[in-house]
Amino acid sequence: MRLQSLNYSFRHSSHFELIMFPLPANVICLPRTNQIDALLTMIRDKNTTRGDFIFYSDRVIRLLVEEGLNHLPVVEKTIVTPTGNEFKGVQFKGKICGVSIMRAGEAMEQGLRECCRSVRIGKILIQRDEETAQPKLPPDIKDRYVLLLDPMLATGGSAIKAIEVLLENDVPEDKILFLNLLAAPEGINAVTSKFSKLKIVTAFVDQALNEKKYIVPGLGDFGDRYFTSP
């Protein structure tokens, strides 16, 4: 499998240094820019207020959705402009829907709605043992490209179960894009080793999981920080 390289943070003594982490070809990371670095710094900071956490997380989510849409297939479409001239453009090849992994994934639904008008959205509740799932999906989901939404990719257990649910509902694997804000190498390896045809779009790949299976340096519990009042 073709690999791409990505700079990401690695703890060394009391600092973070940039090193190279090889990503599978079906994993896309948002390009490192001053804007992305500043937004991620804000949502990582434990002192960031809930209001600011929501605001800056929403900005990253919007960028993730837009990048995900870049990887959907298009077909040519010719239109006529107000000047009476033809223009050869494109349109998306198929219908789209979002599926959020509850509850943290629900925070990403509005960002998808802002980019895709009247988009259908389903939900999957993964139980703690990651063995059972309660899905509520659009009846025609097998005919759509699915943007699977969950802010954190840690061990990959919940994501794998959610993907299995989509496959059980006849969604082709190559029509699934998994969007998340932060990913751990362990989670990326777990998902891509089992599903090589889907795509993962992430804002940043962190160092690793700690002994408690939390992403480090991470940003804490995303769902608690986004939905729970201080």
Structure-token pair, residue 87: 């223009």
The catalytic residue positions are 128, 132, 221, 224
> Measured between alpha carbons, how far is 174 from 170 in angstroms, rounded to an integer?
12
- Give residue 195's identity as a one-letter amino acid code: F
> Measured between alpha carbons, how far is 8 from 205 in angstroms, rounded to an integer?
6
> Measured between alpha carbons, how far is 192 from 2 in angstroms, rounded to an integer?
13
- What stretches of 93-223 adopt beta strand conformation (E)? 95-102, 120-126, 133-136, 144-149, 152-153, 176-183, 199-205, 208-209, 215-216
Closest CA to 136 of 98, 186, 184, 88: 98
